[in-house]
Amino acid sequence: MKDYTHIFFDLDHTLWDFEKNCSETLSDLFREFQLSKFGIVQDDFIRTYKSVNYQMWDDYNRGRLNKEQIRSLRFPFTFEQMGLKREDVPANLNEEFLRICPAKGHVVPFAHEVLDYLSKRYFLHIITNGFKETQHIKISTSDIGKYFQEVIHSEICGWKKPDKAIFEYAIGKINSSCEECIMIGDDLFTDILGARNAGMDHVFFNRYHQQHNQPVMHEINCLRDLKNLL
Ligand SMILES: [Mg+2]
C-alpha cells in the first residue's frame, strides 16, 4: 500500500447510515401522517420510497434531474408506484422528511472506531454530492465532524462526482497531489468511476455484496477492513 497523506470519504451510505436513518424517518412519517388510511402497509411504503429515491439520485448524479425535481417528485412518484394518486401526498410530507431524516444520527457499523483510528494517521475529508443544507446536519448529528478537515460539497464547488473536476478542486483545496490521496465510497458510478477519472486510488465499500464487473482497486464489505488496508 502506498504512503497516503489524505483520505477522502463519501458521506451517504458510506459513513452516515442512509438505510437505517431513512427507514426510521419513513416509519415515523407513516405514523404521523396516518398513511395506513390509504390502505398501504409501512414496509411497502419504505421499500417503494427507497427504490424511487435511489433511481432519482442516480438520475441526479447523471445530470438528468435537478434538486427541486427530486424534492418535489419523490413522494408523488412513490404514491403513484403504490397505486395511489399524486394528489394524495400530504402537504407537509416532504418538509417533514427533510426536517427529520438529517437529524437521525446512525452511522454505518464501526464508523467511529475506524475514523478515530484513521484520523490519527491521515488527514480525512469528505466529498459529497448530497444537498449542502442537509449534509452539515447529518455530520453534526452523527458526531463525525471532529474527524474531518475539509468537507467538499458538489453544490458549492459546482461539479458533481464522478466529474474529475470535483476531485481536482478537492486536491487543490488541501494543497496536495493525487498520488497522496485515496477515495473511499459505496457508489461505483460517483465515487469509484470518479476516482478513476481523476487518476486517484480508491476503495469500493461494497456493504451489501453487490455483484459488479467494474475494475476497482480495493474492495471491502466492512469499514473495519480499512484498518488492515490503510
Ligand atoms: Mg454514497
CA-to-CA separations, 72 to 69, 98, 225, in angstroms, rounded: 5, 12, 39
> Given its phi and psi angles, is residue 61 left (phi above 0), alpha (psi -120 to 50 degrees) or beta?
alpha
Copy the grid coordinates of residue 168.
481536482
The CATH T-level fold of domain 18-103 is DNA polymerase; domain 1 (1.10.150)
**Domain ranges (residues) in the chain:** 6-17+106-229, 18-103
Integer Cα distance of 102 and 153 in angstroms: 16
Q: How far is the CA of 87 from the centre of ligand 1 (A)?
A: 31
CATH class label, 6-17+106-229: alpha beta
pTM for this model (two decimals): 0.95
Q: How far is the CA of 36 from the centre of ligand 1 (A)?
A: 31
Q: How far is the CA of 219 from the centre of ligand 1 (A)?
A: 15
The pLDDT tens digits along the chain (230 residues) read 678 999 999 999 999 999 999 999 999 999 999 999 999 999 999 999 999 999 999 999 999 999 999 999 999 999 999 999 999 999 999 999 999 999 999 999 999 999 999 999 999 999 999 999 999 999 999 999 999 999 999 999 999 999 999 999 999 999 999 999 999 999 999 999 999 999 999 999 999 999 999 999 999 999 999 999 99
Residue ranges near ligand 1 (ion) with Cβ within 5 Å: 10, 12-14, 186-187
Integer Cα distance of 57 and 22 in angstroms: 14
